[in-house]
Amino acid sequence: MSPPTHKSNAQAALTLRNVTKRFDGSAGRVTALEDITLDVREGEFLVVVGPSGCGKSTLLSLLAGLEHTDEGAIKLGDEPVHSPGRDRLVMFQQDALFPWLNALENVLFGLRLKPGLTDAERLESARYYLNLVGLGNKEKARPHELSGGMRQRVALARSLAPNPRVLLMDEPFSALDALTREQLYGDIQEIFTKRKKTIVLVTHNIREAVCLGDRVVLFSPNPGRVQQVFDVNLPRPRRMNDPALANLAAEVTTALSSHLTADKQ
C-alpha cells in the first residue's frame, strides 16, 4: 500500500486531507467516505475504482463542491472548495441532459457560460465535440429522442466542450457499445495530453481504469476508504489489448477480489 503523499506540493490540483463524509439516510447513518487523504496532481489522470457503494460518486460530489465534508478539508490549488464552479465540471453517472434543450443546445450550455469566446467559436466547438462522439447528425434531437448510449455521449460532449481545468467523470463510458468506447478511449487520451487537463474518472471497468489512468486508486467499502494506489507507467496512447496493460489490470482485479472475499468471511 503506498502511503499518502504529505509533501506540500504546489503542483497538486486537488488535495484531500482526512476527509470524512456521512449521510443520514432512511437506513440510518452511512459513512460513505472515511479519512480519505489523497492528492490529484495538476495534469494527472486519476482513476477511481471500487465495488458499488464505496463512495466513488460521493467523492466526486465533494470535489465538485456539491456536497460538504463532515471532517477534513478539500482544496483546489490553495483555495478551499466550498461551492460548485466552472473550473470543476462534472459528468454525472446518470446523464443530466436538459429535456427542454436539443443535443446541440445542451452542449452549448456550458460553453455559453465560458467568457472570452465569440458565439461562432462556441457553435464551432459544440459541433466539434458532438462530431467527436459520433452524433453530428443528431444536433436537433431532444434528449428523449436519443437512445441511452446517445444521451450519455451528448453528456460526454457537454462536459468536454468547455475545456474545464478539472474534469470529474462518473462512469462516463458505461452505457456505450464496445466500438464507440474503444474510439473514445483514444479521443479522451488525446484531449488529455493535448489540453493538459486534470481528470478524475470513476469506473467499474478495471481494464478501462488501467488504460486511461496515470494512477488507479482502489477504494474499499463500508466505510469507503483508499485501499491501494497503483501507478501506471505505460506510454500513451495506450491500447486496450496491450499485454502489459492486461497484466496490471489482473493485479488490480486480484486486489479488488481479495478484498471482496475477505469481506465475505
Ligand X SMILES: Nc1ncnc2c1ncn2[C@@H]1O[C@H](COP(=O)(O)OP(=O)(O)OP(=O)(O)O)[C@@H](O)[C@H]1O
Could you say which of ligand X, Mg ion, other proteins, none residue 100 binds, taking C-beta under 5 to 8 angstroms by partner kind? other proteins
Farthest-apart Cα atoms in the chain, separation: 60
Residue 28 binds ligand X, judged by CB under 6 A: no
**Which residues in 152-211 contact other proteins (CB under 8 A)?**
158, 162, 168
Separation of alpha carbons 40 and 44, rounded Å: 7
Residue 6 site contact among other proteins, Mg ion, ligand X, none (CB < 5 to 8 Å, cut-off depends on kind): none
CA–CA separation, 12 and 43 (whole Å): 9
Among 1, 100, 147, 177, binds other proteins (CB under 8 A): 100
Residue 254 three-state SS: helix
- Closer CB to other proteins, 88 or 207, in the complex: 88
Choose, by CB under 6 A, the member of 14, 16, 57, 74 that binds ligand X: 57
Whole-number minimum distance, CB 234 to other proteins, in Å? 31
Taking the complex as a whole, the smallest distance from the CB of residue 195 to ligand X amounts, in Å, to: 26
Question: Which of the stretches 2-10, 50-58, 84-92, 240-248 binds other proteins when contact is defined by CB under 8 A?
Answer: 84-92
Residues 200/209, Cβ–Cβ less than 8 Å: no
Q: Closest approach of Cβ 33 to ligand X, in Å?
A: 8
> DSSP H helical segments within the chain, as ranges?
56-64, 103-112, 119-132, 148-160, 178-195, 206-212, 243-264
Q: Is 23 left (phi over 0), alpha (psi -120 to 50) or beta?
A: beta
135 binds other proteins (CB under 8 A): no
* Residue 149 · residue 175 · CB < 8 Å: yes
The residue ranges that bind Mg ion (CB under 5 A) are: 57, 93
